[in-house]
A = this chain, B = another copy of it.
Amino acid sequence: MIIIMRPDSTDSDIEGVLERLDDRGYGHHISRGEQRTIIGAIGAPDGEKDLIAGQFSVLPGVERVVPILKSYKLISREHHPRPTPVMIGGAKVGGGHLAVVAGPCSVESRQQMVQTARAVKEAGACALRGGAFKPRTSPYSFQGLGEEGLEYLIAAREATGLPVVTEIMDVRHAEKVAQVADCIQIGARNMQNYDLLKECGRLGKPVMLKRGFASTIEEWLKAAEYIASAGMLDIILCERGIRTFETGTRFTMDLGAIALARRETFLPLVADPSHATGVASLVPPLALAAVAAGVDGLLIEVPPRPDEALSDGPQSLTPAAFSELMKTIRRVAEAVGSEV
């Protein structure tokens, strides 16, 4: 932490800061420039960095406080330097392997799930996605089949051998979801539902953490740190589009975030072009873009018939279009040295 004093700060203001640093167990360094005095705090105690920065920023004469250390540790490259794959059942995500997870937005029936699982497996997907519990902005929209949906996911896995990724929304469903899922998904709207993060970190299953649609990269990494600090390091980070002023697409897919997060963490990074765009015809270009940018995997929505899906129809590819897209995905993956 570096403390920058105001140009009109007095010697007694500076003394006040130094005393407070001393109280808190910090050493310090002072640099008196022509226009600003700058104080470096040395040996920051563990935890609560933001809080301490906040407390110093309100002391008399302080202009601002610049934090130096990151607020995540377990998931950082400083803690573990090399990118590390995560397994979803038998499917590898990362380590040069591009994992394509496909399936419908919501689980709607046993037949739909089995049929879709077969179609996406044949096209080359290595895992199945589908929501039994669904976050919907309106209370009058279809809210998912709940536990019945979990049964259909099991049926689809049994029929095809594909491992399943499914979302958890409520801590009270944690055990049930963990029994079924090969990977537990935490949705964008719950990225800062801290009790849910902590609970998911204790379930012993890999977690896919979607980036909140208005969360910074740093907040996303801190949310992953919650899961890690509860005991689970098999975390997959998923970029799914951020909210911007542009309304032509539903969200704006932020591939720079993937490239930047890659430098910070060893966790695998995947992208969800279906939710990012909200429009089926934009999914292929953005899926290919994500692959070229170096993602470790993709989440793609594929219902049997998009115009009848009970949620998110407009952004879903038909199985035939998905199969076609997989061919180009393979070529682009190869061009950047990865394999599907």
Interface of A toward B, CB cutoff 8 Å: 2, 4, 7, 29, 31, 33-36, 38, 40, 42-43, 46-51, 54-55, 57-59, 66, 68-69, 71-72, 78, 135-143, 169-172, 189-190, 192-195, 198, 212-214, 216-219, 222-223, 225-226, 229-230, 242-249, 252-260, 263, 276-277, 279-282, 285-286, 288-294, 306-314, 328, 331-332, 334-336
Contact = CB atoms under 8 A, between A and B. Distances in A.
A256 B249 contact: yes
Given A254-B252, A286-B293, A331-B335, A58 B135 contact: no
A300 to B, nearest CB: 15
A31 B36 contact: no
B245 A245 contact: yes
Contacts of A54: 311-314
A279 to B, nearest CB: 8
Shortest Cβ-Cβ A-B pairs, 9 listed = A214-B214, A292-B292, A47-B140, A331-B335, A289-B289, A288-B292, A289-B293, A189-B192, A170-B195
Contacts of A222: 137-139
A40 B48 contact: no
A260 B255 contact: no
A51 B311 contact: yes
Contacts of A256: 246, 248-249, 252-253, 276-277, 282, 286
B314 A57 contact: yes
10 contacts: A51-B313, A58-B313, A71-B140, A170-B195, A214-B243, A216-B245, A246-B256, A252-B252, A288-B293, A289-B290
B4 A68 contact: yes
A52 to B, nearest CB: 9
Given A31-B42, A280-B58, A292-B288, A252 B242 contact: yes
Nearest to A195: B170
Nearest to A288: B292
A195 B259 CA distance: 34
Given A192-B137, A331-B335, A2 B254 contact: no
A50 B69 CA distance: 23
Contacts of A189: 192-193
Given A55-B307, A217-B248, A254-B246, A141 B50 contact: yes
A270 to B, nearest CB: 14
Contact of A2 (B2, B49, B226, B290): B2
A226 to B, nearest CB: 4
Contacts of A313: 51, 54-55, 57-58
A135 B194 contact: yes
A304 to B, nearest CB: 13
Nearest to A254: B252
Contacts of A192: 135, 137, 189
B216 A195 contact: no
A110 B334 CA distance: 41
Nearest to A170: B195
Given A169-B195, A334-B335, A66 B69 contact: no
B247 A244 contact: no
A257 B246 contact: yes
